Amino acid sequence: MILIGSTIVAAKDQVSCDLAGETAILSLRNGVYYGLDALGARIWNLIQETRQVSQIRDVILEQYEVDATRCEFDLLRLIEELAAQGLVAVSS
């Protein structure tokens, strides 16, 4: 289970690139491409270095007008999806 205090970093077996403000990620494990919109791309950029989920949340709250509860919920959901696809490494 991923919590707000969990630590996250992009997995090593993927490559990604910026596509006009969005991000494309290729999983080297399964050969599948994934796409992230502009906000997802910002989050992806933040997790290129090991960070706590709470640190990412704080950056998003600072840069975007969004309700804190909604931000945390959506962020955890995105990270869970990325983790399920093996695109990020998570530790408690």
pLDDT digits (tens, 9 = 90+) for 56-84: 999 999 999 999 999 999 999 999 999 99
Full residue range of the structural domain in which residue 70 is found? 7-86
Does residue 92 belong to any structural domain of this protein? no
- What CATH number should be reported for the domain holding residue 77? 3.90.930
- At 3-47, the pLDDT tens digits run 999 999 999 999 999 999 999 999 999 999 999 999 999 999 999
What does pTM read for this prediction?
A: 0.92
Cα separation of 5 and 13, whole Å? 24
2 found inside a domain: no
Count of domains in the chain?
Answer: 1
Residue 82 inside a domain? The answer is yes
C-beta of residue 29 within 8 angstroms of C-beta of residue 23: no
